[in-house]
């Protein structure tokens, strides 16, 4: 397997790129190549591998180093701005709701000036008919990508940058004007034809499922069905991968051989079919990997050579990473290559059932760290569920492909094909629903760090080596002991966030959830209380699921002591339903207002008495106290609510104030701030929000009382930590920390 070390070295270089300067990388490339040549000249070929791999690793680092943007790149525009954009659609629109779509645009000009680069544009309202390759003009609001900047939360801006997208935008669908009629290329036409045939001849859920199985298109698949497949550990069948490519190649090979064709003719037909399928499905890492491997294996038949699966896998990795180095961090790339490598490396027993179980186990073990890192998910039923789901998915995929061909032939053939595939789709959904309903089907855990992943990989490698050398008792026992120790080390490192909770410190984190509030209070004994959960609901990006839940899991929080929804506004309450679905919650404080002592901290809900007032003024505040430190979470309470609290003589003094109503002019009045006297003020606010928050007057009033102001739109999540005598505040965006002494006798 001569290509495997090269692929690993190249990937390692890409991973190290952020920490290696280009000049240093070039120097190491030259040194590595020179050392390789010198060693070969001296006749020591066995020692040439190390310097050669070092040089290749540095080539990977150089390939992953971002190139400067072109002078006319749209990313160099002063943003945000409203502009008229002429562009060509890089792909068909992606619609996730009847009135929501996203376009990938290759820019040609902005406000009449020639520009280059790609924009990801969100459309609001029913879009006009659009197709890949079509030129359009649109009046759009252009911005720089900003995602949730929270610990342990997916960074969408970084992902877009890896894809070469440095500008996003939004526009009304009514502002889109096609400059030419739709003329999609043939792969897009085939894809549209297939999806339309599914939608016409199958019920919506079954059509969406078949679209996922055959084309990897899940936009029409109901969210509850997708969730069932995730919980069952069989979601991979909905992502086009080697499974689909192998089925297609095998079907074409079998049909060609049955028709009397020779091996070379069958291989040629399979190669053509695989390449065409890849063009239709699109350039996903798993598709490219599977296509390259399939073509190499089939080419070996043409050349009458024996195919090396390991070399094929390594060559596919090199090809993908050379073209798109950012794919190394893509979950699809990691899952596809990890699963395939696991299946290739694992020993396979004889017998159909035993082999199927071994394949499922090998794939699940290989992808375990990837699933935990990206999704905090451990499937406990996936190994068994796959034994039923994979054959059903395979049969449905083959029949689905035949149904597409039948739909092009005529209605009678299409009716027969779709009539045959529909029961399989129903059975597959039933299997997923049954497996997902098993208690504990999915366990949510913290994402393992690099040390845990390395130890886990070493453990699997040691176990595999021990199996290979099982005839030699001494080395086998040593390897088995080392593998066991490595796996135990991996488990201990991965469990650290859970084991180290409850260290006697109070932590309050104001999360970055855009324009909204989501706050996590971690008491000294490790229990967690969530106060609001950001926006959420149908057709919205759910901050509870996408930001708050991953933050909690990666902090080692697997269950919530309590939740508090301060009021019903969507930017505070929208994400709470997702949290209650994903976590066991002991208490709900939504309608209670009595002090509670939780693990060494005193938590006191405060409800302003404003009869008939606005909902904001009747929102619940929460005061958290420990030692000399206190935190007041002011929700969206405005002037009338603040006045009611002052008149009722409610104790309001606090070290830290989560500023009311995102820093609006109608909150944080001077008398209220004089009563609170905060040392630290935190504004939870969305970048480029439409309301002008935070108000300049509010910021001036906070400065007048001596408060140090932090803002989630600039600082990302703001983390407050205290032992009751000192207090530290961390800006997550740049990891900077400021410390405040609350006790004059304590040294900070």
Q: Classify domain 74-184 at the CATH topology level.
A: OB fold (Dihydrolipoamide Acetyltransferase, E2P) (2.40.50)
Supply angle C-alpha 165, 171, 177, rounded to 5: 100
pLDDT at residue 28, as a whole number = 94
Mean pLDDT of 147-156: 92
Distance from C-alpha of 297 to C-alpha of 301, rounded to nearest angstrom:
7
Supply angle C-alpha 379, 385, 387, rounded to 5: 130
pLDDT at residue 748, as a whole number = 66
Beta-carbon count within 10 A of 303 CB: 11
pLDDT digit string, tens, across residues 391-416: 999 899 989 999 999 999 888 888 99
DSSP states of 512-559? --SSS-EEEEE-TTS-EEEEEE-S-STTS--HIIIIIHHHHHHTT--E
pLDDT at residue 593, as a whole number = 65
Beta-carbon count within 10 A of 458 CB: 17
Mean pLDDT of 234-262: 85
Tokens describing residue 132? 């890949």
CB proximity list for 350: less than 8 A, separation 6 or greater: none
Q: Which pairing describes strands 165-172 and 506-510: parallel, antiparallel, or unpaired?
A: unpaired
Distance from C-alpha of 229 to C-alpha of 5, rounded to nearest angstrom:
35
Q: Which residues pair with 623 in a beta bridge?
A: 604, 632
Residue 304: pLDDT over 90: no
pLDDT band of 183, cuts 50, 70, 90 = confident
pLDDT band of 147, cuts 50, 70, 90 = confident
pLDDT digit string, tens, across residues 189-223: 999 999 999 999 999 999 999 999 999 888 888 88
Residue 747: pLDDT over 90: no
Q: How far is CA 261 from the centre of its chain?
A: 46
% of the chain with per-residue pLDDT over 70: 99
**In sequence order, which ranges of 135-203 are alpha helices (DSSP H)?**
156-162, 186-201
Q: Lowest mean pLDDT of 3-7, 320-324, 534-538, name the range.
A: 534-538
Q: Lowest mean pLDDT of 246-250, 304-308, 576-580, 735-739, name the range.
A: 304-308
Beta-carbon count within 10 A of 496 CB: 15
pLDDT digit string, tens, across residues 410-453: 888 889 999 999 999 999 999 999 999 999 999 999 999 999 99
pLDDT at residue 122, as a whole number = 92
Residue 489: pLDDT over 90: yes
Distance from C-alpha of 377 to C-alpha of 370, rounded to nearest angstrom:
9
Q: Where are the domains of the chain?
A: 3-64, 74-184, 189-444, 450-496, 506-741
pLDDT at residue 263, as a whole number = 86
Are the C-beta atoms of 87 and 106 separated by less than 8 Å?
yes
pLDDT digit string, tens, across residues 658-669: 999 999 999 999
Distance from C-alpha of 620 to C-alpha of 607, rounded to nearest angstrom:
5
HSE-up of residue 335 (Cα within 13 Å, Cβ side):
23
Round the average pLDDT of the chain to a whole number and report it.
91
pLDDT at residue 1, as a whole number = 59
pLDDT at residue 519, as a whole number = 98
pLDDT at residue 392, as a whole number = 93
Tokens 């050349």, residue located: 303
pLDDT at residue 105, as a whole number = 96
Tokens describing residue 441? 């089907």
Is the pTM for the entire model greater than 0.75? yes
pLDDT at residue 121, as a whole number = 94
Mean pLDDT of 317-324: 92
Q: Considering the domain 506-741, what is its CATH architecture?
A: 4-Layer Sandwich (3.60)
Residue 591: pLDDT over 70: no
Q: List the one residue out of 366, 309, 299 whose CA is nearest residue 336.
A: 366
Beta-carbon count within 10 A of 143 CB: 15
């Amino acid at each position: 397997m001569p290509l495997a070390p090269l692929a690993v070295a190249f990937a390692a270089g890409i991973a190290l790129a952020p920490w290696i300067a280009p000049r240093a990388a070039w120097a190491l490339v030259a040194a590595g190549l020179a050392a390789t040549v010198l060693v070969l000249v001296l006749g020591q070929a066995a020692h040439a591998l190390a310097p050669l791999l070092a040089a290749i690793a540095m080539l990977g680092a150089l390939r992953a180093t971002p190139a400067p943007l072109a002078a006319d790149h749209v990313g160099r525009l002063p943003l945000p701005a409203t502009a008229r954009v002429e562009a060509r659609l890089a792909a068909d629109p992606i619609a996730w709701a009847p009135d929501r779509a996203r376009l990938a645009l290759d820019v040609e000009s902005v406000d009449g000036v020639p520009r280059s680069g790609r924009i990801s544009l969100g459309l609001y309202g029913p879009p006009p008919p659009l197709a890949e390759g079509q030129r359009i003009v649109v009046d759009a609001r252009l911005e720089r990508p900003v995602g949730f900047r929270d610990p342990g939360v997916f960074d969408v801006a970084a992902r877009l940058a890896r894809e070469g997208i440095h500008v996003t935008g939004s526009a009304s669908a009514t502002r889109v004007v096609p400059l030419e009629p739709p003329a999609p290329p043939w792969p897009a036409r085939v894809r549209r034809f297939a999806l339309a045939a599914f939608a016409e001849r199958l019920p919506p859920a079954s059509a969406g499922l078949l679209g996922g199985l055959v084309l990897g298109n899940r936009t029409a698949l109901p969210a509850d069905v997708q969730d069932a497949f995730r919980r069952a550990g069989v979601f991979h069948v909905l992502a086009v991968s080697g499974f689909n490519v192998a089925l297609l190649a095998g079907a074409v090979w079998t049909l060609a051989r049955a028709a009397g064709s020779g091996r070379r003719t069958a291989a040629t037909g399979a190669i053509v079919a695989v390449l065409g399928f890849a063009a239709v499905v699109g350039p996903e890492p798993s598709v490219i990997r599977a296509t390259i491997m399939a073509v190499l294996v089939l080419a070996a038949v043409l050349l009458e050579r024996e195919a090396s699966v390991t070399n094929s896998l390594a060559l596919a990795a090199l090809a993908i990473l050379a073209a798109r180095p950012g794919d190394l961090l893509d979950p699809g790339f990691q899952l596809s290559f990890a699963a395939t490598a696991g299946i290739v490396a694992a020993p396979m027993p004889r017998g159909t059932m035993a082999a199927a179980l071994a394949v499922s186990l090998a794939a699940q073990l290989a992808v375990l760290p990837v699933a935990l890192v990206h999704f905090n998910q451990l499937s406990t039923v996936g190994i068994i569920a796959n034994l039923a789901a994979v054959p059903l998915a395979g049969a449905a995929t083959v029949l689905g492909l035949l149904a597409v061909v039948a739909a092009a032939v005529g209605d009678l053939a299409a009716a027969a094909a779709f009539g045959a595939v529909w029961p399989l789709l129903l059975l597959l959904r039933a299997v997923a629903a049954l497996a997902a309903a098993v208690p504990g089907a999915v366990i949510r855990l913290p994402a393992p760090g690099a040390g845990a992943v390395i130890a886990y990989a070493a453990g699997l490698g040691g176990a595999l080596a021990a199996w290979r050398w099982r005839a030699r008792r001494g080395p086998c026992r040593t390897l088995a002991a080392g593998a066991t120790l490595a796996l135990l080390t991996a488990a201990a490192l991965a469990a650290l966030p859970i084991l180290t909770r409850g260290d006697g410190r109070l932590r309050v984190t104001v999360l970055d959830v855009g324009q909204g509030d989501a706050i996590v209070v971690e008491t000294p004994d490790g229990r967690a209380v969530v106060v609001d959960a950001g926006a959420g609901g149908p057709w919205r990006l759910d901050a509870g699921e996408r930001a708050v839940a991953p933050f909690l899991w990666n902090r080692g929080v697997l269950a919530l002591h309590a939740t508090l929804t301060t009021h019903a506004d969507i930017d505070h309450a929208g994400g709470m339903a997702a949290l209650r679905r994903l976590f066991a919650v002991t208490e709900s404080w939504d309608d209670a207002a009595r002090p509670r002592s939780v693990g060494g901290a005193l938590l006191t809900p405060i409800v302003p008495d404003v009869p008939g007032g606005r909902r904001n003024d009747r929102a619940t505040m929460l005061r958290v106290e420990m030692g000399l430190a206190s935190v007041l979470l002011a929700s969206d309470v405005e002037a009338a609510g603040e006045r009611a609290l002052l008149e009722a003589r409610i104790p309001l003094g606090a070290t830290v104030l989560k500023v009311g109503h995102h820093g609006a002019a109608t909150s944080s009045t001077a008398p209220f701030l004089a009563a609170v006297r905060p040392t630290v003020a935190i504004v939870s606010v969305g970048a480029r929000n439409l309301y002008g928050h935070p108000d300049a007057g509010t910021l001036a009033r906070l400065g007048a009382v001596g408060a140090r102001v932090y803002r989630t739109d600039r600082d990302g999540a703001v983390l407050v930590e205290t032992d009751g005598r000192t207090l530290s505040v961390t800006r997550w965006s740049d990891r900077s920390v400021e410390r405040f002494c609350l006790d004059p006798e304590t040294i900070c």
